């Protein structure tokens, strides 16, 4: 193996390469030894990071992803609550809405000795193992905004029931279209559990109360504004008798509104759905969208921190109501579910009061 091609043109010679390889192995062994020595000598936390292991309460809160206004708003509320309660808050999440990245971060947080971990899950089952591990390590577990599997967390902070949201959107649309017509629904992804649930209740509401309304098509906008605009435009051009468009995510609704505005059909085609007020202000003020719904996302973040703190202190009730700071009495839907309240309807009259 030791060819002595010491003077090969322009590059490493083979025997040097053999040496590198061998030296490399020795380097690796050396490093392994150092690692073992270091970890034995340093850091005597032999047990996994545990909850309540002395020190101030640390709530670790994770959104679906960082970098979108909806979760920035939740962060605002969460920080407010943490200040009021005088506890430490870690609010962080992956830069993409992926469950795998979330579960990795959760596992890293277990090492950080959080008192409680609460997460808005991108996928309820994928996060279950990581959350269970956190639970086993003595950390209080919870979910907010989007639930994980029920046996993987102690409590879920729900912003509004799927039923309330689905029904409200249909009611708003019925107001504007006289309770009849064919409608397009622009959603985020066809598989997001909450969006699927809303669709179910929307259809239910239409069947019960507005039999002349029907959902003609459901298109995924994939949380991409331009895509939402293009999809809505294409659909409306292909189906000009559409009575209205539901945009049921905070990206889909402004996209639908923009599309209707660009093809000049505001007033003819009703637009409503779910989104954040700041995104929708231009469209509400221009009359493209009369009313739309959401919940107060800032309050949701605020409540999630209060609930997590109550878990840590051990005084979260199992039923009835629970006092959460400035929100007052908040309802317990079930021993493991807290409800923020009914959806908020935004319109020209009240939209300027909100800043998120």
Partner 1 sequence: MSAAAAVLRRLTFSREVVLLGVLIVLMIVMSILSPFFLTVNNLLNTSRFFVEVGLMSLGMTLIIITGGIDLSVGSNLGLSSVAIGFSFAAGLPLPLAIVLGLVVGTAAGLFNGLFITLLDLHPLVVTLGTFALFQGLAYGATGAEAVSDFPGWFAYFGQAYLGPVPGQLFIFIVAVVMVWLILSRSRFGRYVYAIGNNEEAARFSGVPIRRVKIAIYSGIGLLVGMAAVIYTSRVYTARGDSGLGLELDVISAVVLGGASIYGGSGTIAGTVLGVLIIATLRNGLTLAGVPSTWVLFVLGVLLLVAVFFNEFFRVKEE
Partner 2 sequence: MSEARAPTEGRRVSRGEVLRRFMVRPEAPALVFLAVLVAAFSLSSDKFLSGTNFESIVISVAVLGIIALAVNQVVLCGEIDISTGSMMGLCAVAAGAVALSTGGLILPLLAAVAVGALCGAINGLLVTAGRIPSIIVTLGMLYALRGVILLVTGGTWITGVPNEARVLGTGTVLGVGYPVIILFALFLVMELVSRHSTWGRNVFAVGGNRRAARFAGLPIDRVRVLAFTLVGVFVGIASVIYMGRAGSVQTNTGTGLELQVVAAVVIGGTSISGGRGSSLAALTGAVLIGVILNGLVLLGVPGIWQQAVLGALILLAVATDVLRRRLVEGKA
**Which residues form the interface with partner 1 (CB under 8 A)?**
1, 8, 10-12, 14, 17-25, 27-28, 30-31, 34-35, 38-40, 42-43, 45-49, 66-67, 90, 92-96, 98-100, 103-105, 107-108, 110-113, 123, 125-126, 128-129, 189-191
| C-alpha closest to that of 169 among 298, 275, 68 | 275
Query: Which of partner 2, partner 1, none does residue 254 bind (CB under 5 to 8 Å by kind)?
Result: partner 2
Query: Which of partner 1, partner 2, none does residue 218 bind (CB under 5 to 8 Å by kind)?
Result: none
CA–centroid distance for 274 within its chain = 14
CB atoms within 10 A of CB 3: 10
Query: Which of partner 1, partner 2, none does residue 94 bind (CB under 5 to 8 Å by kind)?
Result: partner 1
Query: Which of partner 1, partner 2, none does residue 207 bind (CB under 5 to 8 Å by kind)?
Result: none
By the rule CB under 8 A, 171 interacts with partner 2? no
Q: x/- contact string, 214-253, with partner 2 (CB under 8 A)?
A: -----xx-xxxxxx-xxx-xx--xx------------x--
Q: Are 122 and 193 in contact (CB under 8 A)?
A: no
Q: What is the DSSP letter of 59?
A: E
By the rule CB under 8 A, 343 interacts with partner 2? no
**Cα–Cα dist 232/169, whole Å:** 18
Query: Which of partner 2, partner 1, none does residue 76 bind (CB under 5 to 8 Å by kind)?
Result: none
**Cα–Cα dist 202/244, whole Å:** 14
* Residue nearer to partner 1 on the CB measure, 122 or 272: 122
Query: Which of partner 1, partner 2, none does residue 38 bind (CB under 5 to 8 Å by kind)?
Result: partner 1
| C-alpha closest to that of 115 among 159, 76, 85, 95 | 85
Q: Are 177 and 213 in contact (CB under 8 A)?
A: yes
Put the strands of the sheet holding 181-187 in their side by side order.
213-220, 181-187, 244-247, 270-273
Work out how close the CB of 352 gets to partner 2 at its nearest, in angstroms, rounded to a whole number: 13
Applying CB under 8 A, which part among 12-20, 101-109, 145-153, 276-284 lies near partner 2? 276-284
**Cα–Cα dist 262/46, whole Å:** 62
Work out how close the CB of 74 gets to partner 2 at its nearest, in angstroms, rounded to a whole number: 11
By the rule CB under 8 A, 71 interacts with partner 2? yes
For the chain, the first-to-last Cα distance in angstroms comes to: 68
Q: Are 182 and 243 in contact (CB under 8 A)?
A: yes
Measured over the CA atoms of residue 347, residue 350, residue 352 and residue 356, the dihedral's sign is negative
* Residue nearer to partner 2 on the CB measure, 18 or 262: 262
Query: Which of partner 1, partner 2, none does residue 49 bind (CB under 5 to 8 Å by kind)?
Result: partner 1
Q: Are 90 and 61 in contact (CB under 8 A)?
A: yes
* Residue nearer to partner 1 on the CB measure, 67 or 178: 67
By the rule CB under 8 A, 95 interacts with partner 2? yes
* Residue nearer to partner 1 on the CB measure, 109 or 295: 109
| C-alpha closest to that of 244 among 275, 273, 208 | 273
* Residue nearer to partner 2 on the CB measure, 45 or 262: 262
Q: Are 214 and 182 in contact (CB under 8 A)?
A: yes
Q: Which residue pairs from 318-325 have beta carbons closer than 8 angstroms and sit at least 24 positions apart in sequence?
A: 325/81, 325/84, 325/85
Query: Which of partner 1, partner 2, none does residue 281 bind (CB under 5 to 8 Å by kind)?
Result: partner 2
* Residues paired with residue 158 on neighbouring β-strands, in sequence order: 339
Applying CB under 8 A, which part among 26-34, 50-58, 68-76, 82-90 lies near partner 2? 68-76
Q: x/- contact string, 280-319, with partner 2 (CB under 8 A)?
A: -xx-------------------------------------
Can you tell me whether residue 292 is helix, strand or coil? strand
CB atoms within 10 A of CB 257: 29
- By CB under 8 A, name the binding residues for partner 2: 66-69, 71-72, 95, 219-220, 222-227, 229-231, 233-234, 237-238, 251, 254, 258, 262, 278-279, 281-282
């Amino acid at each position: 193996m030791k060819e002595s091609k010491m003077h090969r043109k322009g590059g490493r010679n083979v025997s040097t390469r053999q040496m590198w390889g061998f030296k490399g192995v020795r380097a690796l062994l050396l490093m392994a030894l150092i690692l073992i020595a270091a970890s034995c000598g340093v850091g005597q936390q032999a047990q996994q990071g545990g909850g309540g292991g002395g020190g101030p309460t640390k709530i670790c809160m994770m959104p679906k992803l960082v970098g979108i206004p909806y979760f920035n708003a939740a962060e605002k509320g969460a920080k407010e609550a943490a200040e009021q309660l005088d506890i430490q808050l870690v609010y962080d999440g992956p830069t993409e809405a992926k469950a795998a990245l979330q579960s990795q971060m959760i596992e890293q947080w277990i090492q950080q000795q959080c008192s409680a971990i609460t997460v808005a899950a991108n996928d309820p089952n994928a996060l279950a193992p990581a959350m269970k591990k956190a639970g086993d390590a003595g950390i209080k577990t919870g979910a907010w905004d989007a639930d994980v599997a029920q046996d993987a967390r102690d409590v879920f902070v729900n912003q509004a029931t799927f039923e309330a949201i689905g029904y409200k959107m249909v009611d708003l649309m019925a107001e504007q279209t006289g309770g009849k017509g064919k409608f397009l629904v622009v959603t985020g992804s066809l598989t997001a559990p909450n969006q699927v649930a809303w669709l179910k209740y929307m259809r239910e509401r239409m069947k019960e109360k507005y039999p002349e309304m029907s959902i003609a098509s459901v298109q995924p906008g994939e949380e991409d504004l331009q895509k939402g605009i293009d999809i809505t435009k294409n659909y409306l051009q292909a189906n000009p008798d559409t009575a209205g468009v539901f945009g049921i995510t905070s990206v889909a609704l402004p996209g639908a509104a923009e599309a209707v505005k660009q093809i000049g059909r505001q007033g003819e085609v009703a637009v409503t759905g779910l989104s954040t007020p700041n995104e929708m202000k231009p469209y509400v003020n221009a009359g493209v969208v009369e009313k739309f719904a959401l919940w107060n996302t800032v309050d949701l973040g605020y409540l999630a921190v209060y609930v997590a703190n109550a878990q840590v202190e051990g005084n979260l009730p199992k039923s009835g109501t629970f006092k959460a700071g400035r929100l007052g009495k908040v309802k317990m839907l079930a021993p493991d579910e807290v409800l923020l309240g009914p959806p908020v309807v935004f319109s020209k009259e009240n939209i300027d009061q909100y800043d998120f």
